[in-house]
Amino acid sequence: MFRQENYDLSAHNTFRMKVRCACFIEYESLEELLSLDLSALPQPVKHIGEGSNLLFTGDFPGTILHSNIEFIKYVDMGFDEVPVMVGAGVHFDDLVAQTCRHGLWGLENLSLIPGEAGAAVVQNIGAYGVEIGDLVSGVVCYDTLERKKVRFSTAECAYAYRDSFFKHQNDRYIVTSVLLRLSRAYKPTLTYKGISERFAGRTDLTPMEVREAIIAIRRDKLPDPDLIGSAGSFFKNPVIDTLCFSSLIDRARARLGPDVQIPHYLLPGGFVKVPAAWLIDSLGLKGAREGGAGLYEKQPLVMVNSDGNASPGDILALESRIVSEVADNWGITLYPEVEHLPGVQA
């Protein structure tokens, strides 16, 4: 187990915020986690993965926990469905790459999403028509209140768009491992336009071919996290009712002309999902800057640490500006997908 006080978190958040925490602990096993008296640590206690969906708003006054539980175990009994047990600390894209090499379908559309397996199932990450919640058979956690190992079924995880049961439990449960159900049967998900066009007519694809196509698309439109600090998509795509969507159409025609086409996705129950990127880009905000923070020039949904020196205040100022302009012009409130961790400004 690794422990250090006044720890630099720059390498533990993909925004590359230059912040510190009072205490940092990295554990290697569930047994090491069980041995910790969390109540005796500097408070609050927060568990993170790679920090790929976090914004530290300042120095964190408490303890940051990080899992180094890394294993991938296959339960291959000769059936089409192949259960895979994964340690929470496994780098998620390493998992995707390995399962694709084994010819297993399921994770390929989630290629190149940064983060770790444990955080992925908390956030219910998704891309190109697939969410990780679609593939989860169960989640094993440490219950910090009862101080014991507990298991959750898929139904108990209560997955929804970028949401899960775990996100509403005040960090009570720490994910230690995940059981996924993958398939050797031919199951490509090709609903995304760029993918369906690329593979039109193909019925002999491999998971690795789809993975490589997804990687090419992501690299073309998203910043390389090794070169530019970001937390990926900063805002959730808003889900609105049909009345609100009708109002949006009227506003858009008045501002952009009668022939404007608003991309959208019809959902059950009379709701409509509208791409937050369109709401932002249509206002000419792509590339907007506040201090060292900016919107990525190829994808306005992605906020970046443009020069590597952005402060949490720069990110928050740009967020506030975007939310305000979208609300004023389109009558829709954007909410961040990125979790904000309260901190103390240095």
User: Which residues are part of the catalytic machinery?
Assistant: 162, 233, 337
DSSP-derived 3-state class of residue 294: strand
DSSP-derived 3-state class of residue 295: strand
Three-class SS string for 31-85?
A: HHHHCCCHHHCCCCEEEECCCCCEEECCEEEEEEEEECCCCEEECCCCCCEEEEE
User: C-alpha angle 325/329/334, rounded to 5°?
Assistant: 55
Strand order in the sheet with 265-267: 239-241, 271-273, 265-267
Report the C-alpha gap between 188 and 99 in whole angstroms. 14
Q: Which amino acid is at 248?
A: L
Report the C-alpha gap between 10 and 12 in whole angstroms. 6
Relative to beta strand 54-56, strand 339-341 is: parallel
CB 29 within 8 A of CB 69: yes
Instruction: Count how many residues are written for the chain.
Output: 346
Place of tokens 């120095």: 59
Which residues have a Cβ under 8 Å from the Cβ of 94 and sit 6 or more positions away? none
